Amino acid sequence: MTPDVEKRLLQGATAIACLVPLSMGAASIVIGPSVLSGIDDPPIRDLDSHFRYLSGIFFMLGIAFASCVPGIETKTARFRLLGAMVVMGGLARLWSAAEYGLPSEGHRFGFAMELGVVPLLMLWQARVARRFARPAGSA
């Protein structure tokens, strides 16, 4: 596979992965904590405020990842920082699972993204960056 083809595949995979924080972040901002299963009416204003604040950060994370798609081979530092933020969130979610048990299906999907897909995308981005850093014509 040529470096250009691999770069395009990584760009596509990253763009698709951005849909998760963008859609869930936007839905959570608009709907609030009731977007979660089992929460029909937020119990307190502070929960709603904090939930929407974190959802705004999550939404912005999606935008920041999307900003890496053009020229993805040159965005290693940004991609790693954003990826580390996602992995840290996944580790925090893992702590919650250890303490209270596994969350609902949608949150288990989050686990897969945070501790599986994003680390793999980080490794793939590093590979693409290395391939583009090589002088033209070298193997």
104 domain-assigned: yes
Count: domains in the chain: 1
- Tracing tokens 């869930």 back to the chain, one arrives at 24
Share of the chain residues as helix, strand and coil, in percent rounded to the nearest 5: 80, 0, 20
90 vs 76: CA distance, rounded Å: 21
Helices 76-100 and 105-112 cross at an angle (nearest 10°) of 140
139, part of any domain: no
Closest by CA position to 9, among listed 130, 105, 128: 128
43 found inside a domain: yes
Burial 59-90 (b: 16+ CB within 10 A, else e): bebbebbbebeeebbebbeebeebbebbeebb
By CB atoms closer than 10 A (0-12, 13-18, 19+), residue 117 is: middle
Q: Tell me what the mean pLDDT of segment 47-53 comes to.
A: 80
Cβ–Cβ under 8 Å, residues 118 and 87: yes
- Residue 40 maps to a domain: yes
* Inside any domain, residue 138: no
**Tens digits of residue pLDDT in 52-93:** 888 899 999 999 999 999 999 999 999 999 999 999 999 988
Of 113, 115, 126, nearest in space to 78 by CA: 126
- The answer to whether residue 42 sits within a structural domain is yes
Confidence of residue 136 (pLDDT cuts 50, 70, 90): low
27 — pLDDT class (breaks 50, 70, 90): confident
Domain range for 81? 3-133
Q: Residue 41: which pLDDT band, with cuts at 50, 70 and 90?
A: low
